[in-house]
Structure 1
Amino acid sequence: MSLMKMRDFPTSRIDLLCLPDHRCRSWGLRTTEIAFLCVIISLFFMGSAKADTPGPIIIDHTCTDLSRIPPDWIEQAKQLTIHYAHTSHGSQIVSGLLNLETLNSIYSFVVTVRNDEGLPSAEVPPALRMYDGNPDETYIEPDDYWDGQSGENRTRAVADTGHYDFSMWSWCGQVSEDNGPQYIQSYLDTLDGFEANYPAMRFIYMTGHLDGTGSTGTLHIHNEQIRSYC
């Protein structure tokens, strides 16, 4: 997993650090728990007017005790809706959420993976709902979401529905490529434009996944550019 940050929300700032750049773990129960912890805490604080903390909330690889999340936070987070777009690497978040639901029904989660936009039907009792894709595809590369006018238009079409509280796109290996800081800056500027055009939504910024190159590698340099911007 990697760092996800949300910018410029009204009451506080949350930095979600799931694993540091110099470490790599296989996807298992512990990282599944971390992923859901990140999602629940971030969605509650981003979506609730009651959230008013004096400083940043940092959730990192040491935060694995889900019992510390108050049940009412989880229930309120399940009222929110997510648009999520990704290639193969990003599917780990969806898999983790589905796996966690099998362990305890309080973490109920439902997702639709489809070429056309649409959330799953609301459930009783409520579940966190996600649309996985960006019309008219489900395997979403940069130019399908933010890199170029066509991708931007597709993302804006989803946002225009008014169905979503959050939208997030996950990198594959592009952050590790030596494509220069201007490429990363274009990503940041585009998401910033989305935020300006859709103030009722939150667009989640994400760093690239680990590649073993350490603190001097291109990945770390580009990830730090994203973190600094956020």
Structure 2
Amino acid sequence: FRLPDNISLDEGAVIEPLACAVHGCKRAEISAGDKVLICGVGTIGLLSMLTAKQMGASKICVTDISSSLLEAAKHLGADHVALVESQDAHVIITKIHQALGGPPDITLECSGTASGISMSIPVCYCSQATRSGGVVVLVGLGPHNVTLPIIDVIVREVDVRGSIRYGKCYSIALDLIASGKVNVKPLITHHFKLEDSVKAFETSRNGDGGAIKVLIHCNQEASI
């Protein structure tokens, strides 16, 4: 895919994760008026939030264990944020329902953690997270095997859907950036030269300095 003239190389580096976010949101079939919960707001979670807004979500609540990422989410337009401080799913889900004024229609699980997946599909003994008849899309890659409250999923008819990669959504991601409908520039937080690649990976892994999207520049003349 050729980059349009109005998309920089920096923005081009974010097209792949944006395409993944677009595919996840399309799998969820987000439409106007939907209340959406996004669990985990790393790069994919934040881009999923921006995409969900463009698809018509009326309210978006995001959760994470990082207060700095939640601040970034608020800055980018999240309607509500919930810091995950407790292992008690009931506490977290209560926060979500209070924020959204009820259970979300759609949950995008972007953290990839087993606990995050268990929260998206309500455990039997606590308040329900995703509404009955709602949709849960597993975007983040978690452990090979997880335990799900399958009876709860069955009796409440919660649709659980997988999402992998970008599903022919590159052109959509390009259009979203080129048109200005999705601004990815605030997600690009750090720049490194090629010889500092190890430091770049460490920064990304540890989330140093509020790291979200970390870029490594192969062109030594690039402005860093």
TM range (shorter): 0.3 to 0.5
Greater radius of gyration (CA): 2
Q: Normalising by structure 2, what TM-score?
A: 0.35
